[in-house]
Structure 1
Amino acid sequence: MKLLLLGATGLVGSRTLALALADDVFSEVIAPTRRPLAPNDWLVNPVGESLERLVPNLMSYRPDAVICALGTTRAIAGSKEAFRYVDYELPVAIGKMAHAAGVARYAIVTAMGASTRSMSFYYRTKGEVERDIRKIGFPSLAICKPSLIDGERNEKRKAEGAGLALLRVLGPALPRKFRVNPADAIAASLIDAVITGKAGCRWIYSEEMS
């Protein structure tokens, strides 16, 4: 199976890349990035200044499945528009291209609080990407909805850092769905979802990844 992985340099994406390259199920992993990744015999690594410049050619690699681990914050992106571009427009656009090219399996990471009716721009955007990815019509779709994600990031997210510290302390006393989700567990869920390819839309909730 050929896998197209989006967001391979992020917290979840980097773990997903490592798992995919170590799994014999995948004959090839296509991971477009802005900076070159470490070479690997099973890795195809298109490099460009921005992902959108690489998008038109991604289907030429003929992937069998797509995992979307793209994600940022408004603070890091610099504006609402830039955040929405990464977390909504790119996942949907690539999803439509993949579906048109005959890709049957798609998995994406959103968030536990995602809702189209949320007052939060972040969670509302996550809800909208869930809604519109479902409309595309993939035979097998997995939507991972983690709580706060635990792991070492390349960039600092102050609000998330404070929340993670608190949840690590309170974790044993909290219901499972409110505990932090290790990036490795989320990555494993994404990999399993595209390998098994269960029909329809599968929701993977926080308590399944704690």
Structure 2
Amino acid sequence: MGKKAVLAGATGLVGRQLVQLLMESTQYDEVVLFSRRETGYQHKKIREIILDFAHLKNYRQEFQGADVFCCLGTTIKKAKSEALFRMVDRTYPAVMAKLAADEGGACFAVISALGAKVNSPFFYNRVKGEMERDVLSDGPEKTGIFRPSLLTGEREEWRLGEKVGEKVLQAFSFVLSGRLSKYRSVSASAVAYSMYGWAQSKETGKKILYPSS
């Protein structure tokens, strides 16, 4: 009998890639998508749950024995306030990690960011650092935090800053080797493959991982 996957953030850059992997995988019989709106995915494995993420605890039974993937993330512009940004990027992933631990989830994988640090002077990195701290504290025995550098791929919305950053990193990629390789831009598909592969592996423990293309 195949496994069950729970995924939040299926419409995001990495989430879309991960959904495809999970649907095509012979490892999973069921893929549960948590979303605030309909995603449009049509597949025999897919079961979509439209929910208010503030009420995640009402769906704790979905975490039982599941591989849980969290690809949630927003921007200040979309969230419209620092408080709402922190809710999406810190609170919801932390709650999911705790539910996975409490309900016997097989593993928990979440996307963070390179530079995540609790005492960072930058708000974005500080929130990501707080999320990592909470997830590592409360997540299940097998917990993976994935810290990609700048993500590349086709987003639903166009972001000037990220496009400029992508071009800069590409131009200087030849010097980003060895210990610096983690600073290279990385495709969304590569991050999705890293999360999927880690979930299938026999690795245990709580780890911070650096996906690369």
Report the TM-score when normalising by structure 1: 0.92
Residues 87 and 125, structure 1, Cα contact 8 Å, conserved in 2: yes
Letter in 1 for 2:204: A
In structure 2, the partner of 1:209 is 212
Q: Secondary structure at the match of 1:44?
A: strand
- Structure 2 stretches lacking a partner, 5+ long: none
Identify which range, 135-144 or 12-21, moves more after superposition. Answer: 135-144
In structure 2, the partner of 1:183 is 188
In structure 2, the partner of 1:40 is 43
CA RMSD of aligned residues (A): 1.6
Q: Secondary structure at the match of 1:142?
A: strand
In structure 1, the partner of 2:203 is 198
Residues 27 and 42, structure 1, Cα contact 8 Å, conserved in 2: yes
Letter in 2 for 1:12: V
Letter in 2 for 1:40: H
Q: Structure 1 residue 58 and structure 2 residue 59: aligned?
A: yes
Instruction: Please show how residues 25-174 of structure 1 align to structure 2 within 5 Å.
Output: 25-33=27-35, 34-48=37-51, 50-53=52-55, 55-61=56-62, 62-174=64-176
- Give the superposition deviation at 1:197: 4.7
Percent identity between the two aligned chains: 33
- Give the superposition deviation at 1:59: 2.7
Q: How many residues align?
A: 206
In structure 1, the partner of 2:19 is 17
- Structure 1 stretches lacking a partner, 5+ long: none
Per-residue CA distance 1:108-154 (angstroms, 9 max, x = gap): 11011000110001001101111110111411011111100000100
Q: Secondary structure at the match of 2:116?
A: coil
Distance in 2 between residues matched to 1:108 and 1:151, nearest whole Å: 18
**Large movers: runs of 4+ above 4 Å:** none
